[in-house]
Amino acid sequence: MSARVALLRGINVGKAKRVPMAELRALAGSLGFADARTHLQSGNLVYTSGATAGEDRDRFATALEERFGFAIDVVIVDGARLAEVLAVHPFADGDPKRVHVGYGSGPLPESLVNDLRALAREGERFAVDGDGDVLFADFTQGVHDSRAATALPRLVRPGFITLRNLATVRAVADMVG
Is residue 167's pLDDT more than 90?
A: yes
| Whole-number pLDDT of residue 140 | 95
Half-sphere exposure of residue 107, counting CA atoms within 13 Å on the CB side? 6
Q: Express each pLDDT in 43-96 by its tens digit.
A: 999 999 999 999 999 999 999 999 999 999 999 999 999 999 999 999 999 999
The contacts of residue 58 (CB under 8 Å, 6+ apart) are none
Domain count, the chain: 2
Q: Give pTM, 2 decimals.
A: 0.93
Domain boundary among 79, 112, 145: 79
65 and 99 housed in the same domain: no
Is residue 116's pLDDT more than 90?
A: yes
Burial pattern 42-54, b for ≥16 Cβ within 10 A else e, equals bbbbbbebebebe
The beta-strand segments (E) located in the chain are: 2-8, 34-39, 44-49, 74-78, 99-104, 125-128, 134-138, 161-165
Domain that holds residue 16: 2-79
37 and 111 housed in the same domain: no
| Whole-number pLDDT of residue 149 | 96
Longest dimension (CA), the chain: 47
The contacts of residue 130 (CB under 8 Å, 6+ apart) are none
Q: Average pLDDT for residues 92-102, to the nearest whole number?
A: 97
Is residue 146's pLDDT more than 80?
A: yes
| Whole-number pLDDT of residue 77 | 97
Domain boundary among 25, 55, 79: 79
